[in-house]
Structure 1
Amino acid sequence: MNTIVASCACRMLRPSLAAAGLAAALTPGTVLADPPSTLYGLAWEETFSGSAVDTSRWNFRTDVKVLSAQLAANAVIDNGQLSLLMKQENVSGMSYTGAGVVSKQQFGYGYFEVRAKNTTNTGWHNSFWMMAGDGSNTYAAGRYLEIDQAEIETADQTHIPSGLNIWNGQAGTGGKLAAPRCATYAPGVNLTAAYHTYGADWREGAIDFYFDGIKYCTIAYSTTQYRQDPVNIWLTAIAYRAPVSVGGTPQYYDTVRFYKKDQYVMNGRYGYSESGSGWQDSTLAGFGLMPQRYSCTAGDKSTYAPGFNQSGSYHVYIWKTANANADTQGEVKVQAASGTTTTTINFATGSSGWVDLGVHSFNAGTTNPAIGVTNTVHAGCQRAGAVKFVREV
C-alpha cells in the first residue's frame, strides 16, 4: 500500500549553488532543492553543458510506443539544457516523433533529482523516471523496479502523477507484479511557467517523492518481496493522447543529480570482488532477493569496497544467509581509516539477516579493495551476498 504524506517537515531550498559552473544552467530566480538530509553527498551529475548529448554517458530513447517514434535527432543541447523536440512527421508508422535519453550508468539506493520545465505542447507524456534499460525498448528483460517520479500528461500541467511499476524481470508487456501509485499531486503551479525540481529517494524498503523540496508521497518497496536491482535514469517525451499538438516549447531538463548517503555492495556490482578458485553461483537468494555466490574452499575471499563518495562514520553490516552447510567460523574483516577489526560469524545457525559489524570511519575515494569488508571462508560453505555501510556523521 502506498502512504501519502499529508504533512511534513519540508526541506529548505537554497537560492544559490555551491558549484559556480551550475549557475549558468539555471534561470534567474530559480532554486535547486537540497537532498533529503545533510548526510547525502553528490555522487553523479549532468548539467548538459556541451554542444551535444554526451554519448559516453547517455543512450537515446529509440523505441516506437503509443503515438510516436522516438528519435536521437530530437534530443539536443540548447543553451546548457537538454531540449526534447516534438514533431509531426511520419516515422515507423507513427505520425509524431518524440525523444529521450537514458543514462548508461546504473544506480542503486540514493536520491535522484532533475530540474525541468514542461513543454507547452498538449497530448504528450513527459517523464522523469528510473528503470533498467538502454532506451531501445521499455519492455526489455532485466527490469524489476520502475520509479515514475513524474509522468505528466501535458493536457494537465497542474498535476503530477507518480508511483511505481514492479516487474518480474522478463521481456515483454506482461510480467507486472504490482503498480502502487501516489495520489496525484497538485503543487499549485503551472508546470510550463518555470523550472521546478523533481526528486525521488530510493532507500531500503521505500521510495519517497519530492517536488521543489517538499515530500508529498512515500511508497513501500519490500526487500523481502521484490528484487533490488539497479536502475537507469530516463528523461523522455512521447506522444500519448489525442489531440496532439506541436510547435510549442520543447521539454527542457537542465540539471540531473544523484546523491548517496549509504553504500551498498552486492554480488555482481561495482565494489564487489572475489579471490580463490572455489566461487560459483548459489541457488539461494540473498538480501533483496538478489543472486549470490558461494565457495566451500578454505581461504577464498569475497571483498566489498564501494569507494566512498564522502568521508564519515558508517555503521557496517554484512548479510547472513543462514544454511546448515554454511561456514561456522566465517572471518569478516573491516578495514577502515579508523583501524581494522575482525569478527567471527557462525553462518550455519540462526536466522538470515543483517549482522552488525560496528561503526567505522572511511575516507572519500578509498577505492583500494582492502578498504571495506573482506569475508574469508574458514570451514564450510560461505555465501557472498551483500554488505551495507550506513552513514551516521
Structure 2
Amino acid sequence: MKIKIFPLSLLAVASLLTGSCRRELLMSDKTSLSGAKLTATAQAGLVTPIPSGYSLAYAEEFNNNALNTSAWYYRETGNYVGGYNKRQNVSVVTQDGIGYLNIAYRNDVDWNNDGVNDISGGGAITSKAFGYGYYEARIKFYNGATGLHESFWTHGLGILTGQTLGTEYKEAGKQDLVPTDNQMIEIDAIELDAAMNHGKTNFWLSKVSESTSGAFNRYDASYMNLDEWINVGFEWLPNTVIYYINGIERFRFSHVTPAYAATQVWLSALANTTWSNGGQPGPDASMKVDYFRYYNKPISANLIGNNSFEFGGGVSSEQVINWVVYDGIYNNSTTDGVRVVADGTAYNGSTYLQQDAKSGVPEITTKQLLDYIPNGTYRLTARVKKTPGMVSARMRAFNTGDAEKYVDIPTSAEWTKIALDNIVVTSNKAVIGFSINGPDGETLKVDDVQLYNKQFGIPEEWSLVIDNMGTGYSESGHWANSSLPGYQGSSTRYSTDGAAYAQWQPNMPNAAYNDVYIYKVVNPASDPNAKIVIKYNGGTTTKYINYTTGSSGWVFLGKYSFAAGTTGYVRNYNNTSGTSARADAVSFTLPGNPPPAL
C-alpha cells in the first residue's frame, strides 16, 4: 500500500475546492513563470488539479515491487543515440512507504561484447493505447550531471518498423492481437536532459499535411525545483494539446490536421551521447516515476483512429496502421489479404481499406481496439463497397459490456453509407470491426469510419448548395447558357474560353470540416480533363475530372477544413483547348453526409 504524507492545512483546503477553483488557487501566485519559482504548494506537487469534467480511467501506482508486465512492456533497443536500453535497468522499488518505477543509468556492462563497457538506460511502455484525455505522471528527475535524457510521452508501437521493443509486442503482433504498426502520433509531455536546465514539449504526426514545428517548445525549466517530485501533465483534445507542470498550464499547441489515433504511453530514461553535452551521469543516476494516471470524459469527436486509412502518406501499403487484421494465421501481416489502396477512387482523401476474401479462411476481421473510452451510447458509420459474391460481410461492435451489435453490409459498386446505431458501452472499451467470408476474388472496401458519442448528437444533416448564378457563384472569362440540364433539372453554363473559370464561394457559418461535391454535366464536347481547385483552411488541392464519360451527377472532391466566412472556394478551369468547360452546382455537407438528392 502506498502512503503519501500531505500537510494537513493544504489537504483541508484542497478537499473544499473544485478542480477549477484549485487551479485558480495555484495560478494566483504565478506572476513570472519564465524565471521565478512556483509557490511551495505547486512545487511540492502534492495537490495538482486536473482539468474539469474528467474521471480517472486508468492508474498505475507502481506499488507491487515489480513491473506489471500484463500492462507494460520494457523498452529494449540496441545502440540508440549512443546508448542501450535494457529491461535489467527497470525496476519497481519501495522507499519510505512509497513505491515507484526506477529507470537506472548503468555503465558497468559490455552489452555488445567488444571488451568495453557500454552506457545504458531503459523505459516502460503501456501495452494498451490511450486516446483523447488528460495524462499525468509524477516524476523525480535526475539532475546531477548531463547524459540522461528523461521523458514522459506517447507514441505508437510497431513490429516491423521503428525501435525494437523486445519479444512481447512482436509476438502479440504475430498473433494478430495488436496492430503490426501503430506509429502515427507522438506527444511529448516533457523531455528533460539532466543538468541542461530546460524542458521540451512536442507534437508530431507521421503523416504531415501541415507543419507541427510550432509544437516544439523549449522553455527554461529553472522554475521547477528538480530536487522535488514534479507533476507533469498534458490534455489531448481534438486539434489542441495543452501542457501542464504542477497543475499550471505552460504551453498549448493547436493544429487543423484531422489526425487521430490512440497511442501507447512511454516513460524513458536514455543513456546517450547525442544530448549529453559531452558528459555522463554518476552511477546512482535514475529517473523515478511515482505514478501514471489517465483521465477521460465524453467528447464530441470521432474516436476511430486512422479512420480514412490516410496514415502512411496516402499511398498503397500492405500495412494497415492502427488496425488489427485477424485471419487466424500466424505471422502473415504482409499476406493477410488486407491492405490500404490509393487508386484515385477513395471516398475520403486518397486511400481506403480493401479486404480480399480468401478460400479456406473462415473469417477475416479488420478491427480497432478502443480501450479506456467513456461509457455511453455511440453511433458507428462507414462508407463501403462490396462485390456480389461475398458470402458474408458485417460491420460489428463488440466487447462493449453489452451484447454484440452488427449490420450486414449490402452489395454495392458505389460508396454506400452504413450505420450501426445505439451501441451501448458499459465497460469503458469497445472493438469495432469489419468481418468477411467468401471465395477468392471477392472484396470489401471501407472508408471514412466514424464513431461518435450520441450524448452530443449525431453529425447534423446540414448542406449548402451553390448553384450557377446563385449567391456565392461567379465567373471569369466568357460564359454562356447551355441547354444541358443540371442539378434537379436546373440550367447550366458553359465556356470555350481557354482562360475562363467558374467559382463557387461558400459563406460558412462556422469553422468546420465539410465534404465537397461538384455536379458533373456530361457531354462528349466537354473538357475531358477539367481542372478543379479547392481552396480550404490550410491550403489548396487540385483534382481533375473527365466531363465526357459516365453519368451526370455529384462527384466527391474530398473532405476539407473551412474557416468561418468566405475565404474558401471551388474553381472549375477550362483545361483542354477546343472543349467546353461546364458549370452547375457545388455542395458542401458535414462529413459523412451525402449531397442533396438529385
TM-score (normalizing by structure 2):
0.45
What value does the CA root-mean-square deviation take over the aligned residues?
Answer: 5.2
Residues 381, 450 of structure 2: 8 Å contact kept: yes
Mapped to 2, the partners of 1:343 and 1:108 lie a distance apart of: 30
| Aligned match of 1:383 | 445
Residues 123, 268 of structure 2: 8 Å contact kept: yes
| Aligned match of 1:182 | 216
How is 1:292-371 mapped onto 2 (pairs within 5 angstroms)?
292-294=353-355, 309=372, 312-320=375-383, 361-364=424-427
Pick closer, same or farther for the CA change 1:122–1:307 going to 2, 3 Å: closer
Q: Report Cα offsets for 1:104-145 as digits up to 9, x if no partner.
A: 514152333321111122212111122234899954694443
Q: Report Cα offsets for 1:317-346 as digits up to 9, x if no partner.
A: 42336x7989xxx98788997998979999
Mapped to 2, the partners of 1:210 and 1:58 lie a distance apart of: 26
Shift of 1:10: 6.9
1:84 partnered with 2:103 = yes
| Aligned match of 1:30 | 46
Mapped to 1, the partners of 2:413 and 2:242 lie a distance apart of: 36
| Aligned match of 2:290 | 254
Shift of 1:86: 2.2
Mapped to 2, the partners of 1:289 and 1:40 lie a distance apart of: 37
Gaps of 5+ in 2: 1-18, 26-42, 165-179, 308-319, 329-335, 457-598
- Match of 2:215, SS state, is coil
Residues 163, 219 of structure 1: 8 Å contact kept: no
Shift of 1:161: 0.6
Shift of 1:243: 2.5
Pick closer, same or farther for the CA change 1:132–1:273 going to 2, 3 Å: closer
Amino acid at match of 2:453: V
How is 1:1-393 mapped onto 2 (pairs within 5 angstroms)?
12=22, 30-34=46-50, 36-39=51-54, 41-42=56-57, 44-56=58-70, 57-79=72-94, 80-89=99-108, 91=110, 92=112, 97-103=119-125, 105-111=127-133, 112-123=135-146, 124-133=148-157, 139=163, 142=181, 143-157=183-197, 159-167=198-206, 181-186=215-220, 189-215=223-249, 216-220=251-255, 222-223=257-258, 228=261, 230-239=263-272, 240-247=276-283, 250-261=286-297, 263-264=303-304, 280-284=337-341, 292-294=353-355, 309=372, 312-320=375-383, 361-364=424-427, 382-384=444-446, 386-390=449-453, 392=455
Amino acid at match of 2:294: F
Gaps of 5+ in 1: 1-8, 16-26, 169-176
Mapped to 1, the partners of 2:367 and 2:158 lie a distance apart of: 27
Pick closer, same or farther for the CA change 1:109–1:309 going to 2, 3 Å: closer
Mapped to 1, the partners of 2:86 and 2:287 lie a distance apart of: 14
- Match of 1:73, SS state, is helix
Mapped to 2, the partners of 1:316 and 1:308 lie a distance apart of: 17
Mapped to 2, the partners of 1:346 and 1:382 lie a distance apart of: 9
Indicate the structure whose relative CO is greater, using CA pairs within 8 Å and at least 6 residues apart: 1
Shift of 1:260: 4.2
- Match of 1:155, SS state, is coil
Deviates more, 1:104-113 or 1:357-366: 357-366
Shift of 1:70: 3.0
Residues 381, 419 of structure 2: 8 Å contact kept: yes
Mapped to 1, the partners of 2:202 and 2:371 lie a distance apart of: 30
Mapped to 1, the partners of 2:100 and 2:351 lie a distance apart of: 37
Pick closer, same or farther for the CA change 1:88–1:11 going to 2, 3 Å: farther
Mapped to 2, the partners of 1:342 and 1:68 lie a distance apart of: 51
Pick closer, same or farther for the CA change 1:134–1:96 going to 2, 3 Å: farther
- Greater gyration radius: 2
Residues 84, 122 of structure 2: 8 Å contact kept: no
Pick closer, same or farther for the CA change 1:374–1:196 going to 2, 3 Å: same
Shift of 1:294: 3.5
Pick closer, same or farther for the CA change 1:361–1:213 going to 2, 3 Å: farther
Mapped to 1, the partners of 2:143 and 2:239 lie a distance apart of: 36
Mapped to 2, the partners of 1:13 and 1:193 lie a distance apart of: 23
- Match of 2:66, SS state, is coil
Q: Report Cα offsets for 1:4-59 as digits up to 9, x if no partner.
A: xxxxx9795699xxxxxxxxxxx98613542x4425551x3322112233334221
Pick closer, same or farther for the CA change 1:387–1:220 going to 2, 3 Å: same
Shift of 1:253: 0.7
Q: Report Cα offsets for 1:72-107 as digits up to 9, x if no partner.
A: 332222211011222444634776633222325141
- Match of 2:304, SS state, is strand
Amino acid at match of 1:132: G
- Match of 1:99, SS state, is strand
Mapped to 1, the partners of 2:151 and 2:289 lie a distance apart of: 11
Amino acid at match of 2:287: Q
Residues 60, 135 of structure 1: 8 Å contact kept: no
Pick closer, same or farther for the CA change 1:383–1:188 going to 2, 3 Å: same
Mapped to 1, the partners of 2:262 and 2:370 lie a distance apart of: 19
Pick closer, same or farther for the CA change 1:392–1:338 going to 2, 3 Å: farther
Mapped to 2, the partners of 1:361 and 1:241 lie a distance apart of: 54
| Aligned match of 2:560 | none
- Match of 1:264, SS state, is coil
Mapped to 2, the partners of 1:138 and 1:314 lie a distance apart of: 37
Mapped to 2, the partners of 1:199 and 1:11 lie a distance apart of: 18
Pick closer, same or farther for the CA change 1:11–1:122 going to 2, 3 Å: farther
- Match of 1:162, SS state, is strand
Amino acid at match of 1:105: S
For these two proteins, the number of residue pairs brought into alignment is: 347
Residues 69, 97 of structure 1: 8 Å contact kept: yes
